[in-house]
Amino acid sequence: MELAAIIFSLFFAMNIGASGAAASMGIAYGSEAVKKQFHALLICAAGILLGAVIGGGEVVKTISSGIIPERVITLEIVCIIIGSAALSLFIANVLGIPLSTSEVTVGSVVGVGVAYQVLYVKSLTVIVAFWVIIPFIAFCFTYVMAKIMKKMVKPASGKKLQILTAVLVIAGFMEAFSAGMNNVANAVGPLVAAHVLTVGQGTLYGGVFVAIGALLLGRRVLETNGKKITRFSKGEGILLSGTGSGLVIISSIFGLPVPLTQVTSSSIIGMGMAKNGGNVFHKQVVKTMLKVWIVSPFLSLSLSYMLVSLFLKGDYYSLIVVTSVLLASVGTISLMRAVKKEHSSVHEQGGGI
């Protein structure tokens, strides 16, 4: 069972690398400070590993014992938490959506806490509040600064452009560093809680596998964050990466698992809104990202709750309830689409108002 828990965690760490790649080097890649995908992912991997080893310990402690009691987390629970979170994240990576690993991991831990009724509600409330506050600050800050830059900053050329390019690469590295500080804990925190690894071992091994995941699996999410939302100049890229890395590093020092991908993506959306107005919200990729952000923690929560109830508690009634809610949700969405399609058809045929 211990080997299975470790394998689950390292698989999850690789998926974190794939998702976190866009949140760290997507901006430098999108603004062409780093032109090749592999080079961008290589810088990302180096930053993640260093961030995990140097400053990842505080968030590991929060994930391991700050949401539910450490005594609850057995090897079986570790497999359930990591398996539920990894499945949610893997689906997002296949779709090319930059999903928050903090959300799916915390969601999985909360599912276990709900199943055993041992949740630290106060701590969870603080974490969820910062999930909203930090991306909102990132959105507002980049929106205001982008407006200022639009009026005051002139296009760079020559040596100034080279300096901006170098600064942007450094800013991207620092964002990857912040990803290592914050996101590696999501993979190894449960293992630390189960006393399979120490905090130091967890940050080292987790950092290595997150870095490998960024190199091997990060291309699609890098492309999504870098080039499918909006375009940026070198100066704008520095603003975006600097905002994301600064907010996440500060959060990590206080042990708060925050959604790095949401912080970065919110900054990008704020930049896009400053440049193009509300039209950025009409882009399908933005709509899809917003939906996935909302759904993802509830998906991993439901999965972990169901697995605990089914395999550890033998509570088959919970499986019936969860399945019924899922079927009801799918049926409702399908019905809404059918009604919308019918209304559209009526209007197209001239039978509407």
**pLDDT one-digit tens code per residue, 118-143:** 999 999 999 999 998 999 999 999 99
- pLDDT single digits (tens) 99-115: 678 888 999 999 999 99
pLDDT of res. 96: 61
- pLDDT single digits (tens) 224-258: 777 766 667 888 889 989 999 999 999 999 999 99
20 pLDDT above the threshold of 70: no
Residue type, 9: S
User: Which residue would you say has higher pLDDT here, 59 or 283?
Assistant: 59
pLDDT of res. 346: 56
Tell which residue, 168, 146, 154, 153, has the closest CA to residue 33: 168
Measured torsion, CA atoms of residues 240, 245, 248, 251, in degrees rounded to the nearest 10: -120
- pLDDT single digits (tens) 144-182: 999 998 887 776 677 888 899 999 999 999 999 999 999
Residue 316 neighbours by CB distance under 10 Å: 9
pLDDT of res. 353: 42
- The percentage of the chain sitting over the pLDDT mark of 70, rounded to a whole number, equals 88
Are the beta carbons of 51 and 178 closer than 8 angstroms? yes
Tell which residue, 275, 193, 288, 177, has the closest CA to residue 231: 275
Q: Count CA within 13 A, CB hemisphere, residue 344.
A: 6
DSSP output for 245-274: HHHHHHHHHTT----HHHHHHHHHHHHHHH
Tell which residue, 124, 99, 93, 130, has the closest CA to residue 11: 93
Task: Quote the pTM value.
Answer: 0.84
In angstroms, the CA 78 to CA 115 distance is 14
Vertex 21 angle, CA 230 and 193, to 5°: 135
Residue 110 neighbours by CB distance under 10 Å: 25
Residues 6+ apart with CB under 8 A from 297: 103, 104, 106, 107, 110
Record the tokens describing residue 352, joined without a space. 């509407």
In angstroms, the CA 185 to CA 69 distance is 17
Q: What is the 3-state secondary structure of 82-123? A: HHHHHHHHHHHHHHCCCCCHHHHHHHHHHHHHHHHCCCCHHH
